[in-house]
Structure 1
């Protein structure tokens, strides 16, 4: 998960080039305070311009340094778990895994390829763009406040466990201590008009949904639900979410970790708008973290940040010209997930952390692939003389990522059943990344038509 491989020595050499001498003991100048601020701003801008030029030369896309740009392997190696939360050195924070605006590899871009012009029947059936289809989603309308569903203590505990093993396993952002606090809050019956209440109700809604879709099985939850149980879970999930959604404006107006979690947990149900809002608030809170911030709350924000980074990148990979929140621009500055208890079982805790790291690592690699091959101005995916070597290196790094997966998540590239549902999803990610990496060969073949004899030679 390291950034661009530019050594510290190179960065140090840039400092004297600013042309600024350090003078000690000099008399104070007669300049006004605003003039001094302007001088500092001009001098800083000059230094940044020189640094940018140096970085552009150092990070020139060539086969020699692509490995350092996109390598995802270290994120899920066996030593990673024992090194959670350890910051990287300054030289690791140079290049971010960011998607270029208007990159040429969105779903919409591919559907508009002229090569598919012959398949007019397929294009005719697809009357709407991906954005139009997404935008056609029926918004949640404000209805009269529904009564809060009644659940016994055992039902509440069961639902929260469902949330932990379902949602909080795939996106481990809530500490167990917070979940326990929310359980006591619900049992007290003092659900008020507050962000805390909104978060508690969302946890219950997602817990009921986890049971409904069968994301997991426990001794208390049979593998096959009866129609009555499914209907009940669907009703409870809907009721809890309607109650929570009534309180969403409170989270939108508040800048706290609880508010960010509310927006994030609403995101999967209302797609882009809430994920964008959660990412924006999360970035702001991480930029202005008070010194007395509890470590658990800071880790919560970091995990929400990485979750938003994954989901936002997924949207950006599909839709053209989608507004960006800017979290990808600082992703190399945010530490990887650290010590954080999200599961009752220590084994589940370890598996959840490893799976989260695997998803972060894959999303970073996917962003590198999209940027290196399909960036609007300098992607090499359409240059027959450059893309073979880049594709070869990226393909090698993808295989390294696959080989470094923990045993529980390993998979074979065929129709065999995976060892776990998480492994099945990672296999899907692997195949998606592979298709994006090798797409230039498909484009090249379609562009050359009957003249295709052999693949372009590799660049050395």
Structure 2
């Protein structure tokens, strides 16, 4: 019956929550454990072209409790039957890597681009190349329009056509809302109805409605549209103009302001402008922290606390996506959510709520991967170099992965498998992409392959960083891990088509991950020990170019990524 199904779903989610709370301690033990004197044993051979092989090589995680371990359906949220904190969810902030992406991590596409083996393919690019491109985009006209509405049609300020706006509301609820369900659907409809009845004014509620309408409008627009009439831009400018004033002069705290700011940040993810999205998420995060400072118990079931909890996790997810590519200042929201339960969507959470929880959980795992494998302190542990030496070659990831590194990678991979196995069936994506699923399933699938690629990337960098003399043999265990990394790159590219040809909040991160995957496969194709794992490099280039081309607008970093992909394709075609 339905009661059994609901209980089973809650128990599966409890398992995911329990798993994530134990990551830090387990990783810390592995990182600090002295390496054994024995040579690492060879792992079973893995075919990088076999989608099931990635599971076959992973032992069952010992950290994923069974359904009977759950004390109640509320355990996923950090509470027991009486509303008290469940012990397993208490975090020790002093143990192991936190769920934050460290400043100075070496995981971004720009970091891959400046590797010596990539420079041999594409030439020299400056550090933080994609940040430089994004930050130099011409925005003077946009700034003037935000500050002054004088150039806009005066009739657009007299009112909005209700029938058209209703269509945009429906589009928002169907296409945009499921990715970030931090508002309840009935709450969205209620606020929209109230504001439209009394007409748009200069207040945060009006800004929220304008942002919702703008998002609904842009989500409907085809990628290849050349329409000169772009009403969503007018709606959005009006929303942002209201919010900039409201945020600047409001110190008492109004939850509508950060909610509307997050919606505007989501708008910038739809236009693939990551730095603008970062700016607004940063603003929203400070407002959230100010509001939450008034509450002594962040575990309270009080509606306002629950509202802010959901909003905090959305900010965390969005900021993490951006910080994975750009070394920008942190807003502090990551410290807040580190002591917070997951959002409470009630006992009968909808599938879109379950997708949101699954996205939070895999995002925290991705961040631990960043911290454990691509942070200067971690590189020091794994390579035995001093921090000073590590900083001198800051753009070189692990060039000599040792057994402690292998143990951490295997543990992270087990945790990824446990995350996937623990997902409720109604939100579990089919990993090969043979069954597309909805947009949220497409996102979770890409998160899986991105995580797998990041976990084993260092071994690929190691093998491709040196010339292997005749007779030299790469250890089989290292070759297997390279194969797993390359398989993950290939699967990411082949399944990204399900998401990148639509307007979603993940266009930028998906585009950059496509280029990273293509770069890693390209350097493997030039490395004698790995060439046999990248024989389809011509197809890889074609797929990458096709993914990036629709978004390659002038002056954007995706345009630069597209040009790099074209350059590599041309060079490797003639090299072959």
TM over 0.5: yes
Q: Distance in 2 between matches of 1:307 and 1:368?
A: 18
Match of 1:277 in 2: 283
Q: Distance in 2 between matches of 1:187 and 1:290?
A: 36
Tell me by how many angstroms 1:103 deviates.
1.5
Match of 1:356 in 2: 356
Match of 2:467 in 1: 449
Q: Do the aligned partners of residues 409 and 390 (structure 1) sit closer, same or farther apart at CA in structure 2, a change above 3 Å counting?
A: same
* Aligned with residue 210 of structure 1, among 216, 219, 226: 219
**Is 1:101 paired with 2:103?**
yes
CA deviations over 1:37-92 (Å, ceiling 9, x no partner): xxxxxxxxxxxxxxxxxx9999444499xxxxx99968x99979654643443862
Compare 433-442 and 255-264 and name the one that shifted more.
Answer: 255-264
Match of 2:328 in 1: 322
**Is 1:236 paired with 2:231?**
yes
Q: Distance in 1 between matches of 2:64 and 2:360?
A: 11
Match of 2:311 in 1: 304
Q: Is contact 1:194-1:250 (8 Å) kept? A: no
Q: Is contact 2:114-2:126 (8 Å) kept? A: no
Tell me by how many angstroms 1:430 deviates.
1.0
* Aligned with residue 295 of structure 1, among 298, 302, 305: 302
Superposition pairs for residues 361-372 of structure 1, below 5 Å?
361-372=361-372
CA deviations over 1:371-412 (Å, ceiling 9, x no partner): 111221234355323211111111121122222233343334
**Is 1:332 paired with 2:338?**
yes
Q: Distance in 2 between matches of 1:281 and 1:424?
A: 32
Match of 2:195 in 1: 186
Q: Distance in 2 between matches of 1:334 and 1:242?
A: 34
Q: Is contact 1:194-1:247 (8 Å) kept? A: yes
Superposition pairs for residues 95-134 of structure 1, below 5 Å?
95=93, 96-119=98-121, 122-123=122-123, 129-134=129-134
Q: Do the aligned partners of residues 136 and 88 (structure 1) sit closer, same or farther apart at CA in structure 2, a change above 3 Å counting?
A: farther
Compare 362-371 and 282-291 and name the one that shifted more.
Answer: 282-291
Superposition pairs for residues 152-191 of structure 1, below 5 Å?
152-191=161-200
Q: Secondary structure at the match of 1:335?
A: coil
**Is 1:257 paired with 2:255?**
yes
Match of 1:438 in 2: 456
Q: Do the aligned partners of residues 389 and 127 (structure 1) sit closer, same or farther apart at CA in structure 2, a change above 3 Å counting?
A: closer
Q: Secondary structure at the match of 1:378?
A: helix
Tell me by how many angstroms 1:4 deviates.
5.4
Q: Secondary structure at the match of 2:450?
A: helix
Q: Distance in 2 between matches of 1:289 and 1:238?
A: 37
Match of 2:143 in 1: 141
Gaps of 5+ in 2: 1-16, 34-60, 80-84, 269-275, 383-397, 481-576
Match of 2:428 in 1: 410
Q: Do the aligned partners of residues 4 and 199 (structure 1) sit closer, same or farther apart at CA in structure 2, a change above 3 Å counting?
A: closer
Tell me by how many angstroms 1:299 deviates.
2.0
Q: Distance in 2 between matches of 1:206 and 1:58?
A: 40
Q: Do the aligned partners of residues 88 and 135 (structure 1) sit closer, same or farther apart at CA in structure 2, a change above 3 Å counting?
A: farther
With normalisation by structure 1, the TM-score equals: 0.72
Q: Do the aligned partners of residues 307 and 73 (structure 1) sit closer, same or farther apart at CA in structure 2, a change above 3 Å counting?
A: farther
Structure with max Cα Rg: 1
CA deviations over 1:295-320 (Å, ceiling 9, x no partner): 3332222111111111111122112x
CA deviations over 1:253-293 (Å, ceiling 9, x no partner): 223211101211111313211111112221222222389x9
Match of 1:21 in 2: none
Superposition pairs for residues 27-38 of structure 1, below 5 Å?
none
Tell me by how many angstroms 1:365 deviates.
0.4
Q: Distance in 2 between matches of 1:445 and 1:88?
A: 45
Match of 1:399 in 2: 417
Match of 2:46 in 1: none
Q: How many residues align?
A: 383
Q: Distance in 2 between matches of 1:322 and 1:454?
A: 38
Q: Distance in 2 between matches of 1:365 and 1:178?
A: 31
Q: Secondary structure at the match of 1:210?
A: helix
Q: Distance in 2 between matches of 1:77 and 1:393?
A: 24
Q: Distance in 1 between matches of 2:161 and 2:362?
A: 41
Q: Distance in 2 between matches of 1:286 and 1:384?
A: 44
Q: Distance in 2 between matches of 1:56 and 1:403?
A: 21
Tell me by how many angstroms 1:414 deviates.
2.8
Q: Do the aligned partners of residues 258 and 414 (structure 1) sit closer, same or farther apart at CA in structure 2, a change above 3 Å counting?
A: same
Q: Distance in 2 between matches of 1:296 and 1:166?
A: 26
Match of 1:374 in 2: 374
Tell me by how many angstroms 1:162 deviates.
2.2
Q: Secondary structure at the match of 2:99?
A: coil
Q: Is contact 1:115-1:446 (8 Å) kept? A: yes
Q: Do the aligned partners of residues 363 and 287 (structure 1) sit closer, same or farther apart at CA in structure 2, a change above 3 Å counting?
A: same
**Is 1:386 paired with 2:386?**
no
Q: Do the aligned partners of residues 196 and 57 (structure 1) sit closer, same or farther apart at CA in structure 2, a change above 3 Å counting?
A: closer
**Is 1:246 paired with 2:244?**
no
CA deviations over 1:318-337 (Å, ceiling 9, x no partner): 12x32111222232311211
* Aligned with residue 195 of structure 1, among 204, 216, 230: 204
